[in-house]
Amino acid sequence: MMKNYAVLDKDSKVLNIIVAPSLEAAESATSSFCVLIPLGTFVDFGYHYFSGYFYSPQPYPSWTRNQGNWEAPTPMPVEEGKRFAWDENTLAWVEVETE
């Protein structure tokens, strides 16, 4: 059975994604360190691998990782009918207009 593997660089950044029958075959074909991508896990170029998790690139300098997810310094407000976006300059959530 063929599986998806992430090809990593020396900094554990995803360089490519390949399909191979085994980890050994993936590493042999790429001459690189590879990691099996678990079923149902989204991984793309530029993601990082650390401690068993794939992380998307950091969206903002102030955000930190928490078990596979990036989190803002403060939780996003939840208000019915309103949308919010992160403003890195003020380190706060700001309301955005909805159409």
Hey, is 34 helix, strand or coil? strand
Hey, is 11 helix, strand or coil? coil
| pLDDT score of 14 more than 80 | yes
Question: DSSP letter string over 44-98?
Answer: -TT-EEETTEEEPPPSSTT-EEETTEEE-SSPPP--TT-EEEEETTTTEEEEE--
Amino acid 66: pLDDT: 83
Q: pLDDT tens-digit profile of 16-57?
A: 999 999 999 999 999 999 999 999 999 999 999 988 889 899
Amino acid 96: pLDDT: 94
H-run or E-run covering 24 = helix 23-30
Q: pLDDT tens-digit profile of 59-82?
A: 999 999 887 789 999 999 999 999
Amino acid 69: pLDDT: 83
Instruction: Show me where the domains of the chain are located.
Output: 1-57, 61-99
The CA-to-CA distance between both ends of the chain, in Å, stands at 47
